[in-house]
Structure 1
Amino acid sequence: MKLFGLGTVALYSFPSMAFNTQKSDTLELIGKGNPTVFGNGFSLRKEAYDAFVKMTAAAAKDGIEIHPVSSYRNYAHQNRIWERKYKRFTKQGLSPIKAIEKIIAYSTIPGTSRHHWATDIDIIDKSASYSGDVLVPEKFHGDGPFCKLREWLETNANTYDFYIVYTDDAHRKGFEYEPWHYSYAPLSKPMLKEYRKLDIKKMLQAEKLMGSEHFDENFINSYIKENILDINPELL
């Protein structure tokens, strides 16, 4: 991996497998490829990065300092999250199946994360006064420190082609509501289209993940339908 300085921008250049919207690379779709990403303290594909910079500049004029908490994550990173939570929940006394159910309330199975695509980003308002965990819904509502950010995003994010992924829709299943998670639609929509062509069942059953022996066909079918595909319709 090579790192090139572009002013305040860091360009991570990898030798191969750049995403092509005509035919995406399978390895990149599952977090095992090497996308070219831009950012200083975060990582997005070039088109998404450019739109994000414009959006943050517009928010700054309204007194909001959009700050990325998470962006591109490769397979290994997602697997570390998975293993950490699986170990913690099972040590707390949960059965493997209950531990998995708790994990997939907010975290994806490695190989299925939208963050693998370098099109999605989790954000907060750095100018707000806050403490403790930041990616929790209550901090984005009521008197929460990121309420102003949420309201601004609901009004303006779509102008820059960013859309909330997991909406506050009582009829939506899968992952819980995440007011901090936005996706750059012009890139993520074609990537999801390509992702749906993969044999996700075969991939998940082949991976030797902690607890994966409990990934039976019913679980995988439900996970695909509810966690991967039950998202904001604007991103389908």
Structure 2
Amino acid sequence: MPKSFIILFLLFAINGYSQGASEYSKADLIGKGNPIFHGDDHKLQKEAHEAFEKMRNAALKDGIKIRVVSSYRGFEHQKGIWTRKYNRFTKQGMSPQTAISKIIEYSTIPGTSRHHWGTDIDIVDGGMPQPKSVLEPSHFSEGKVFYNFKKWMDANANNFGFYLVYTSVDGRKGFKYEPWHFSYKPISQKMLMQYKAMDIKEMLQKEKIVGGDYFTDEFIKAYRNENILDINPKLK
């Protein structure tokens, strides 16, 4: 076999492997891509959508009517949530730093949300009376409106590839307990691996995010380690 052909073959193999290792673009990871999503009352990647529908049908047979509260959110959508909360909290008299700390109890900085990936979904039991604010941890406690939903998800969600992201495990840092937020592991685990290789500081500095002047090096390091990475270990 000619030496030149061997060299070309090796270059092609290396390039092909590299492309396979980088399945998702930076735009996809920060909610600025143009992906194709599936679902009527939700937006998920095809594989995640199909798994979710199987899970929803199984739950319905057991008397649980899964209702989607939120799924894919793009960068601008997340930026709107962030801006509204920041403005509201600072108008209430909070300092910028305090407002930011308050926001990241439950909401992400634009460009860092798992909801950008089309793998994560916020769900409740739509067959029960809906509280004014459905996404409250107390609603999932024993004897409360979504307790049976929580029990069903605890017992069955993993069988369909979905895992709770922000658990109630003692000592976990970052975002508070969210018994409604599930992630489709077969895809989100790969996307997290790629996301971890990104320079979060550089990305945030390029975006015009209100309050961004207070994203110090120390804050970004803690936010990455705690809010982005201190999640259910099974999703890492």
Given the two structures, how large is their TM-score scaled by the length of structure 2? 0.90
Name the structure 2 match of 1:64.
Answer: 64
Tell me how many residue pairs correspond in the alignment: 217
Partner residue, 2:165: 165
CA shift at 1:130, angstroms? 2.5
Does the CA contact (< 8 Å) of 1:21 and 1:187 recur in 2? no
Do residues 84 (structure 1) and 93 (structure 2) align? no
Structure 2 contact 22–194 (Cα < 8 Å) conserved: no
Q: Which one has the bigger strand percentage?
A: 1
Corresponding residue for residue 102 of structure 1: 102
Residue number in structure 2 paired with 1:228 = 228
Which shows bigger deviation, 124-133 or 175-184? 124-133
After superposition, what is the alpha-carbon deviation per residue over 1:32-71, rounded to whole angstroms, capped at 9, x for unaligned?
0011100102100000000000000000011000011000
Structure-2 separation of matches of 1:125 and 1:21: 38
TM value normalised by structure 1: 0.90
Q: Report what 1:132 is aligned to.
A: 132
How far off its partner does 1:21 sit? 7.0
Q: Which runs of 5+ in 1 are unaligned?
A: 1-19
Aligned residue runs from structure 1 range 1-236, under 5 A: 22-236=22-236
Structure with the higher helix share, 1 or 2: 2
Cα distance in structure 1, aligned partners of 2:136 and 2:35: 29
1:97-140: CA deviations, max 9, x gaps?
00000000000000000000000000010001132100010001
Larger Rg: 1 or 2? 2
Measured after TM superposition, the shift of residue 204 of structure 1 is 1.1
- Give the Cα separation in 2 of the matches to 1:131 and 1:177: 18
Shift of 1:143: 2.2
Q: CA deviation at 1:82?
A: 0.2
Structure 2 unaligned blocks of 5 or more: 1-19
Q: Secondary structure at the match of 2:67?
A: strand
Cα distance between partner residues in 1 of 2:221 and 2:33 = 25
1:130 maps to a residue whose letter is Q
Work out the CA distance in 1 between the residues paired with 2:145 and 2:161.
25
Q: Where has structure 1 moved over 3 Å in runs of 4 or more?
A: none
Question: Taking every aligned residue pair, what percent have the same amino acid on both sides?
Answer: 54
Shift of 1:145: 0.9
Task: Give yes or no for contact 2:31–2:117 (8 Å, CA) kept in 1.
Answer: yes
Amino acid paired to 1:124: V
